[in-house]
Amino acid sequence: MSALTYSQAQGLISAAFAAARAKGYKPMGLVVVDAAGQIKAAAREDGATALRIDIANGKASAALGMGVNSRALAQRAKDLPAFMTALAAVSSQKFLPQTGAVLIQDAAGQTIGAAGASGGTGDEDEEICIAGIAAVGLKHA
């Protein structure tokens, strides 16, 4: 299994922000976490509101911690609200089960991290994460 590099994380964020600008989305915050759930890189665009990094980190950490993209977690939160609330309470990392984060995979399909974004709709957040991941030559789950 390969490891997510700082260079890849920075490139992912730059490409994701470029995708957001090309689509005219609101200013974004984006966090990339490694396979251990630790922040590899984070950035907030000019004009993005104060909590964007916290929200993006919560989405990315939740996706990585549960091993699925945050879109699936958002559905689980609707189906099992008490479980998701309890999980967020006991997690040692931020845990926000909302659409806008995707798992990052290497060429062999192994999960090496996650990217989470905040600032637009959940669909927009997810879209720019996917664009950033593709731009650095990695795959998403």
Residue range 64-86, pLDDT digits in tens: 999 999 999 999 999 999 999 89
pLDDT digits (tens, 9 = 90+) for 14-67: 999 999 999 999 999 999 999 999 999 999 999 999 999 999 999 999 999 999
Using an 8 Å Cβ cutoff, are 42 and 28 in contact?
no
The reply to whether 112 falls in a domain is yes
The reply to whether 44 falls in a domain is yes
Tell me how far apart the alpha carbons of residues 53 and 118 are, in angstroms, rounded to a whole number: 7
The reply to whether 1 falls in a domain is no
Record the tokens describing residue 92, joined without a space: 């040692």
| Residue 2: band (very low, low, confident or very high) from pLDDT cuts 50, 70, 90 | confident
The reply to whether 43 falls in a domain is yes
The reply to whether 141 falls in a domain is no
Token pair 């984006």 in the structure block, residue = 30
Look up the domain containing 41 and give its range.
6-136
The reply to whether 59 falls in a domain is yes
Record the tokens describing residue 102, joined without a space: 């995707």
Q: What is the pLDDT of residue 23?
A: 98
Task: Give the CATH number, domain containing residue 40.
Answer: 3.30.450.150
Domain count, the chain: 1
Q: Which residues of 83-113 are buried (b: 16+ CB within 10 A; e: fewer)?
A: ebeebbeeeebbbbbbbbbbbbbbeeeebbb
